[in-house]
Chains A and B, each alone.
Chain A
């Protein structure tokens, strides 16, 4: 039997494209989703938090430090940065959702512009590690299409365990659910807020560190690309952080990958946006919000 190898290679390329896009959406979203889902604050400076991770990693790497160490440094810098921002700005806005968006937007402008002023219009790019795999007429980057998707999935699993199976996670969720009762039970809610925001920032920093060698040129306007994907995924995913991120990233990257594969990245982007708008029109509370409603209705019927 003759196997149509061209079609097979095409299918493989589409699959790698999907993995690539899936990893990008998950990694761009997860920090934002944690901070929004757990604390109810939309961090519009999320893209700039990721940029802090990118810049931290790149600057340390260009100083002659090996890439993995530079990445850890990038994450550490972002966590520190996030905690400073939480203490000075974000903590004033825990019960003022719309104001928190405006304030963090002001912050985003300031950070982006300060990066431009301090480091110029671009940093030298870092070459992507791990090389490429070639098959038929296609090539795919191992780092982007295999390594990053694996990291993305591991990250979601890790977060699931952290927030559902550990004492810290239970305390953090108690703090979000009902701060007064949590305090009465002896939980230091202030510390929980710092820790949750720190984790969100750390995830943003990790995303930045991981994408530092996969961005090509490193410029201070890269933040908005991450922010858009993260926004769309949070909105489509709905209130449940981990399942929401996973399902939204899965849905969106299917359309993104097919569009990109057949007609170029721009069409992929537009297709993804259209899907997001249609999804929102039909499921205003996102995928997980719809599932929750459906479960409640079924329980009520029983």
Chain B
């Protein structure tokens, strides 16, 4: 095979992955990306099993971060209720998996849980976007849905709250949720520990690259147009409600995938998944990482969750673990006040300014600024 064809294949792939809606469209970025990814591949071999296992949890949560970044950053739908789809999928996976614990059953649980989470998002989205619910009202409604699920799940302690063999368990949560299993029939390949780590890592890679292609596609451009100016986009003949519904449903599906992984990671789901503190986390990750950067959201999820884990042992022997939430909440406040775009876009801009200075080119502000009315 000649070198030119392989180069053109790389160019074609990069052409799909790159565009104005993602940051990191240069060769150095992709080299760095591959290096970091390979480091994550090697990570479990270099560290202790506990840290690797914790990392799997951060990966599962990253799906949740990506889902919010996608709906909020690219379409302007600020949903405070992404955890609702995450939690519903986690519980559904538990209910099906506990009742049908064969490999086929768990496979069905995976598909069923993602389907239920997605459908839930689609129904809620239909109600909101076709009902003309907009802006802050969407935010409020999604949060209220999550909090109501919290109230509902918290009061399911009695034995009458069970689906087949699966007890919902009230505040104590649903226990004995099975591990993810691949295969047909009674037993199959159980995905736990190191396998779960790699399944999540590659799943996350595929999701990230897939979302990059999506946001740089025609549909992605429409999403951004809706975010920037709904009325003008509608004037061009786009069906705003439909675009938002599709985006919201995809976001719900992503959150649901995260929920399934999360439930099978801890073999456990409880009402705190719908609680206000957990619902705040995706917003914190995405705000800090940068809502218009998928990679920023991913990175922030990983870093902040790691920070929270390390804070759970207390801070320098002075402050107890209960300070973790105060520190993370305070971090959110500081970032949103002083770095409203988030860390990743701010860094990206700094780097580009540096490059421009070095090459002597003046940065072109006209390209980034919105056309004036």
Enumerate B282-329 residues with CB–CB distance to A below 8 Å: 283-284, 287, 320, 322-323, 325-326, 328-329
CB–CB B151/A269 < 8 A: yes
Given contacts A107-B329, A224-B276, is CB(A277)–CB(B127) below 8 Å? yes
Q: In the bound complex, do residue A110 and residue B329 qualify as a contact, i.e. CB atoms below 8 Å apart? A: yes
Contacts A235-B140, A280-B133; A113 near B326 (Cβ below 8 A): yes
Indicate if the CB atoms of B136 and A97 lie closer than 8 Å. Answer: yes
Output the residue of B147, B320, B336 with the most chain A CB within 10 A: B336
Contact B143 A102 (CB under 8 A): no
Residue among B134, B148, B287 making CB contact with A102, cutoff 8 Å: B287
Contacting A at CB under 8 A, from B261-287, are 276-277, 280, 283-284, 287
Distance in angstroms between the alpha carbons of A92 and B80 in the assembled complex: 22
* B326, A98: Cβ atoms closer than 8 Å: no
- B326 A114 Cβ-Cβ under 8 A: yes
Q: Is A134 engaged at the interface, CB distance under 8 Å to the other chain? A: no
On whether the beta carbons of B326 and A110 are closer than 8 Å, the reply is yes
What 0/1 readout, one digit per residue, does chain B (108-137) give for beta carbons within 8 Å of chain A?
A: 000000000000000000011001111111
- Interface contact A280-B141, CB-CB below 8 Å: yes
Query: How many contacting A-B pairs (Cβ < 8 A)?
Result: 108
Is A228 a contact partner of B147 (Cβ separation < 8 A)? yes
Closest CB-CB distance, A86 to chain B, in whole Å?
14
Distance in Å from the Cβ of B273 to the closest Cβ of chain A?
15
What 1/0 mask marks residues of chain A from 232 to 267 whose CB sits below 8 Å from any chain B CB? 101100000000000000000000000000000010
Interface string of A201-233 (1 = CB under 8 A from B): 000000000000000000000001000100110
Known: A106-B336, A109-B280, A109-B329. A97 touches B147 (CB 8 A): no
Q: Are A231 and B340 in contact (CB under 8 A)?
A: no
A195 near B: Cβ within 8 Å?
A: no
Q: Are B330 and A110 in contact (CB under 8 A)?
A: yes
Q: Kindly state the separation between the CA atoms of A235 and B140 in the bound complex, as whole angstroms.
A: 8
Residue of A102, A108, A232 ringed by the most chain B CB atoms within 10 A: A102
- In the assembled complex, the CB of A261 is this many whole angstroms from the nearest CB of chain B, namely 18
B31 in the interface, Cβ–Cβ < 8 Å? no
**B250, CB-defined interface residue at 8 Å:** no
The residue in chain A whose Cβ has the minimal distance to the Cβ of B76 is A98
> Which residue of B127, B128, B152, B283 contacts A270 across the interface (Cβ within 8 Å)?
B152
What chain A residues lie within 8 Å of B328 (beta carbons)? Answer: 109
Contact with B along A77-106 (1 / 0, CB 8 A): 000000000000100100011110111011
- Is the pair B136, A98 in contact by a Cβ cutoff of 8 Å? yes
Which residues in chain B, 141-159, are within 8 Å of chain A measured between CB atoms? 141, 143-144, 147-148, 151-152, 155
Q: Does A284 reach chain B (CB closer than 8 Å)?
A: yes
Those of A18-58 within 8 Å (CB) of chain B: 42
Once A99-B336, A101-B136, A284-B137 are accepted as A-B contacts, the answer to whether A224 and B329 lie under 8 Å apart by CB is no
Contact A284 B132 (CB under 8 A): yes
Q: A273 on the interface (CB 8 Å rule)? A: yes
Asked if B326 and A106 make an inter-chain contact with CB atoms under 8 angstroms apart, the answer reads: no
Tell me, yes or no, whether A116 is within 8 Å of chain B by CB.
Answer: yes
- Whether B22 sits at the interface, judged by CB under 8 Å, is no
B330 neighbours in A (Cβ, 8 Å): 106, 110
A138 to chain B, nearest CB (A): 24
Interchain nearest-CB distance for A135 vs B (Å): 30
Contact of A117 with B323 in the complex, beta carbons under 8 Å? yes
A99-138 CB contact bits vs B (8 Å, 1 = yes)?
1011101111110011011000000000000000000000
Nearest CB in chain B to that of A116: its residue: B322
Bound together, the chains give a CA A175 to CA B41 distance in angstroms of 57
Confirm or deny: B78 has a beta carbon within 8 angstroms of a beta carbon on chain A.
yes
Q: Which of A262-296 contact B (CB under 8 A)?
A: 266, 269-270, 273, 276-277, 280-282, 284-285
Known: A110-B326, A280-B131. A103 touches B152 (CB 8 A): no
B180 interfacial by beta-carbon distance below 8 Å:
no
Q: Given A234-B140, A270-B152, are A102 and B329 neighbors across the interface (CB < 8 Å)?
A: no
Contact B137 A235 (CB under 8 A): yes
A110: which B residues are within 8 A, CB to CB? 325-326, 329-330, 333
Q: Contacts of A270 on B, CB cut-off 8 Å?
A: 148, 152
Are A103 and B144 touching (Cβ within 8 A)? no
Residue on A nearest B137 in the bound complex, by CB? A235
B-side contacts of A108, CB under 8 Å: 276, 329
Residues from chain A with a CB closer than 8 A to the CB of B144 are: 228, 231-232, 273, 276
Residue with the greatest number of chain B CB neighbours at <10 A, chosen from A98, A276, A285? A98
Min C-beta distance of A104 to chain B, whole Å: 9
Q: Which interface residue of B152, B323, B326 has the most chain A CB atoms within 10 A?
A: B326
Q: Which A residues touch B325, using CB under 8 A?
A: 109-110, 113
Residues from chain B with Cβ under 8 Å of A98 in the complex: 78, 135-136, 139
Within 8 Å of chain A (Cβ to Cβ): is B64? no
B337 within 8 A of A: yes
Residue of B at shortest CB range from A103?
A: B336
Q: CB-CB < 8 A to A284: which residues of B?
A: 131-134, 137
A101 touching B139 in the complex, CB below 8 Å, given contacts A106-B284, A117-B326: yes
A113 to B127, CA, bound (A): 34
A266 close to B155 (CB less than 8 A): yes
Contact with A along B147-181 (1 / 0, CB 8 A): 11001100100000000000000000000000000
- In angstroms, Cα B80 to Cα A110, docked, is 17
Residue of B nearest to A282 (CB): B131
B344 within 8 A of A: no
Say if the beta carbon of B106 comes within 8 Å of chain A.
no
Report the Cα distance A105→B80, complex, angstroms: 10
| B-binding residues in A (CB < 8 A) | 42, 89, 92, 96-99, 101-103, 105-110, 113-114, 116-117, 224, 228, 231-232, 234-235, 266, 269-270, 273, 276-277, 280-282, 284-285
Cβ contacts A to B, 9 pairs, < 8 Å? A101-B136, A106-B332, A106-B333, A109-B325, A109-B332, A110-B330, A117-B322, A277-B141, A280-B137
Q: What 6 A-B pairs are tightest by C-beta distance, nearest first?
A: A284-B132, A106-B332, A109-B329, A281-B131, A110-B329, A106-B333
- A-B contacts besides A99-B336, A103-B332, A266-B155, 9 pairs, CB < 8 Å: A97-B136, A102-B78, A105-B332, A106-B333, A108-B276, A113-B322, A113-B325, A113-B329, A280-B128
